Each structure stands twice: as structure tokens, then as C-alpha cells.
Amino acid sequence: MATLTAAELSDAVAVLVTHRGIARVRDRLAQLGAFTSRRGLNTPEAIAERLYRLSGGLRLQVPATYAFSSVWAEMMRERLGEEGEHKLEGLAEAVNACLTGDDAVAPGQDEPLERALDAYREVIAAAAGADVARLDMLMKAVPAVADRLRAGARPPVATDSSPPEGADRGES
């Protein structure tokens, strides 16, 4: 699975806090063994920072990673429902069919992969919103797919150096 950046993990914790409340998220993570002390964990940013340090951006197989993943999965089950989960299983198979055994995108599978990712994103976004869809997909994606997701999320880079329409051109 892909490693989350500190900003992405912070966004994910903020989503959980919005869904459940800070005290419930902090207490559930502690109950699952993410951390031993709750001291100083009074904001989503503080929780995210501690989780990031303990889990290496969810890359390490440690209690903090398992706890966060469990709490996130609980939220997703609540938002998607059983029918949504079944839809995602089929769509995940379509995404995986576009990958090689070493988790790279198979030659000639760019278009089918994009279609499968779009369909997957739509199901989650309909139930939980576009931001949650992006984060959930990043958490589940292999590195090659996560790179594509991140590249698609970047704003386009302006290549035209002409002033925007309506800009002051020194005319009176």
C-alpha cells in the first residue's frame, strides 16, 4: 500500500474527527493501542502528527497503523453501507486486473485503469464526498496507482505567460 504524506494523514484525521468528534477518535485510537498516552492530543493536527511519527505515514506494521486503519474502515462501512462495499469489491477487482504481479500498471492498461479508478471514486464520493474518496483511494492504492492519483489531484500548471483576460494592459 502507498505511504501517506503528513498532510494527507492530517486530512484523514480531520475527516475522522468531523465524523466522530475529537474525543471519540482519540479514545478509540488509544483503545486500539495506537498510542499509550493521550496527553497533548486535543486537536486533529496533534493526533495526526503522533500517528505519522508512530506509523511512518501508515507504512510501518505497528499498532498505530492498525488502529488508524480500523477506525477509518469503521467510518467507511458506516458511510458506504453493505451495498456500497459490494460495489467497491467489484471495482477493486477491475483496478487490480490492470496491474502486473509486481503492482505496476500493465502495458496497454492505462485507459481501463483510469475508467476503473473513476468508477471507484464515484461510488465513494457519492456516499462520503470527494475528499474522503481521494484519501481512501490513496490509503488502499499500490504506489504506482497512488502516484497517478496524486498527479491527477494537482492543479494544472499554467504554461501561457500572457496576462489573464481582463487584466490591466495599461489602457484607459
For the chain, the average pLDDT equals 86
172 assigned to some structural domain = no
Show the domain range for 22: 6-152
- Specify if 1 maps to a domain: no
* Structural domain includes residue 130: yes
Q: What is the pLDDT of residue 6?
A: 94
Residue 157 lies in a domain: no
Q: Is 80 domain-assigned?
A: yes
pLDDT at 152: 77
pLDDT confidence of residue 158: 36
- Nearest CA-CA partner of 34 in 9, 7, 1: 9
**99 has which bridge partners?**
105
Least confident of 39-43, 121-125, 135-139, 157-161: 157-161
CA 7/CA 43 separation, integer angstroms? 15
pLDDT, position 38: 86
Number of domains in the chain: 1
pLDDT for the residue 103: 87
In a domain, residue 169? The reply is no
Query: CA angle, corner 75, sides to 85 and 81, nearest 5?
Result: 30
Q: Is-contact 80 161, C-beta < 8 A?
A: no
Higher model confidence: residue 153 or residue 43?
Answer: 43
168 is a domain residue? no
Q: Is residue 35 assigned to a domain?
A: yes
pLDDT of residue 145: 92
Residue identified by cell 495599461 is: 170
